[in-house]
Structure 1
């Protein structure tokens, strides 16, 4: 038992655990919609697109979270504007913005000789350095994410499964898409200093994708993703403590392993129950519920 509970007696590990739990809950809310909407590439691009804002804020001595928020907002706005062009696919627009923002961030970083350590923290996070005020900010972000998910549930469901029905129901799919981008931006900005921009994608995508194998309703997917994210945080911190590995990377790795195990278990389960079809999100039920 000492191996299990010993690390949790340390104050900064306790704060790291709470920080990871809050991040897991935020990512479960946003990540579920990202997975259902097929926006994984956008999430990855936006997480890297925060680099120019963070680099600029660091060089100017400003707030890193504010810099990340501004940069992510610019990225989201660019995706929205370019996505309306009939000549460019959404993937093309996202890819161009991704490369452009990342290149700009590297250029800004190259102008500084002392940014290497900060850049490492930006890319890989430092969950063991979570402070009490960080927990407060994460709790506020979780409240906002929950409010957006509840208020936007109907248009988000319609947008995820049938955009034409969203038009028919008068749910303003463009506004819903913008709100979804805002929710994704909130999750990324709130989480990047915990597990870093390279690893937040793991908590954003892996738990919802793993839960999707077993749940047929969106709230159940969110609940499963939250549980898996918190479990990944706990065991990731535990393994990091005993193996002396990077905490944020270990948490993300555990989340990915959970997804792989869930996928394998789901395939074995469905093969054993063949020829019954694999469970999936009940589109009809969700859309009827949203209307």
Structure 2
């Protein structure tokens, strides 16, 4: 028991655990739609596209979170506008925004005297440096994400499975898509300073993807994804304490391991059983 509970007696580890729990819940709400709609590339582009705003805020001595919000707003608007261009596929638009924003961010960060430190913190975060004010911000972000998810659940569901039917039902799929992008941006912005933009996709995609074989509804996927995220957070912090590894990376790695384990077990349980001596059916 001392091995399990000892690390969490430290106040900074307790804050890291609470931060990871809140991030897991936020990412479960947004990540479920990312997985259902196949928006992983957009999530990757948006997480790395935060760099220009963060770099600009650092150079001007401003709030990094506000800088990240600015970049997220630019990417969301860019994807929405370019996605309506008939001759330009959404993947192309996302790729162009991804490269453009990331390049601009590197240019801005290179103007800083602490280039390596700033970029490392941006990419990998520092979950053990979570402060009480960070927990308050994460709590507010969770409330906002939950509100958006509840109010937009019907539109998001229709959009995920049949955009044309969503339009027929008068659910305004374009608006729903824009709001969904905002929810994704909220999850990434709220989480990047905890686990970093390079690792946030681990909690955004892996838990919902791991929950898919076991849940029968969208709400079930969200609930199980949140539980898996919390489990990965607790286990990752515990292992990082005893093994001396990077906490955020350990959490994300365990979340990805959960995905592979989930689908492996699901595949074994749903494998068809063949009767000894039976021959496969043939058609003439």
Q: Which category describes the TM-score, using the shorter chain as reference length?
A: over 0.9
Aligned to 2:75: 75
Q: Is residue 157 of structure 2 the alignment partner of residue 165 of structure 1? A: no
8 Å contact from structure 2 (residues 109, 118) kept in 1: no
Instruction: Name the residue aligned to 2:280.
Output: none
Q: Distance in 2 between matches of 1:40 and 1:180?
A: 13
Deviation of the 1:113 alpha carbon: 2.0
- 1:188-222 per-residue CA deviation (whole Å, 9 max, x = no partner) reads 00000000000001000000000001112000000
Corresponding residue number in structure 2 for 1:14: 14
Bigger Rg, which one: 2
1:271 counterpart SS class: coil
Q: Distance in 2 between matches of 1:268 and 1:88?
A: 42
Which residue pairs with 1:142 in the alignment?
142
Residue aligned with 1:213, SS: coil
What corresponds to 1:204 in structure 2? Answer: 204
1:273 is displaced (CA, Å) by 6.1
Are 1:130 and 2:130 an aligned pair?
Answer: yes
The 2-side partners of 1:157 and 1:197 are apart by 27
Deviations 1:142-198 (A, max 9, x none): 000000000000000000001011011100000000000000000000000000000
Q: Paired residue for 1:277?
A: none
Counterpart contact for 2:240–2:246, Cα < 8 Å:
yes
Q: 2:25 touches 2:229 (CA, 8 Å); kept in 1?
A: yes
- In structure 1, how many angstroms separate the alpha carbons of the residues matched to 2:264 and 2:59? 46
The CA distance in 2 between the partners of 1:114 and 1:91, in whole Å, is 34
State how far apart, in whole Å, the 2-side matches of 1:179 and 1:224 are.
23
Which residue is 2:248 aligned to?
Answer: 248
The number of residues matched between the two structures is: 275
How far apart, CA to CA, are the structure 1 residues paired with 2:112 and 2:226?
39
> Any residues of structure 2 matched to 1:249-264 within 5 Å, and which?
249-264=249-264
Q: Which residue of 1 aligns with 2:51?
A: 51
Partner of 2:277: none
Q: CA deviation at 1:272?
A: 4.5
Q: Which runs of 5+ in 2 are unaligned?
A: 275-284
Q: Does the CA-based 8 Å contact 2:141-2:190 persist in structure 1?
A: yes
**Which secondary structure state, in structure 2, belongs to the residue aligned with residue 194 of structure 1?**
helix
After TM superposition, the structure 1 = structure 2 runs for residues 110-129 of structure 1, keeping only pairs within 5 Å, are 110-129=110-129
Q: TM-score, normalised by structure 2?
A: 0.95
Q: Corresponding residue for 2:239?
A: 239
Change (3 A) 1:273 1:133: farther
- Per-residue deviation, residues 110-164 of structure 1 (Å, max 9, x unmatched): 1122232122111100000000010000000000000000000000000000101
Length-normalised TM-score, structure 1 = 0.93
Shift, 1:45, TM fit: 0.4
Q: How many Å separate the matches in 2 of 1:209 and 1:83?
A: 25
Hey, what's the Cα distance between the residues in 2 that align with 1:74 and 1:259? 32
Cα RMSD for the two superposed structures: 1.1
Alignment partner, residue 5 of structure 2 = 5
Q: Deviations over 1:241-275 (max 9, x none)?
A: 0011110000000000000100101111110568x
Unaligned regions of 5+ residues in structure 1, if any?
Answer: 275-291
Cα separation, 2, equivalents of 1:190 and 1:92? 26
Q: Please give the alpha-carbon distance, in whole angstroms, between the structure 2 residues aligned to 1:74 and 1:87.
A: 21
Deviation at 1:109, TM superposition (A): 1.1
Report the equivalent of 2:184: 184
The 3-state SS of whatever aligns with 2:143 is: helix
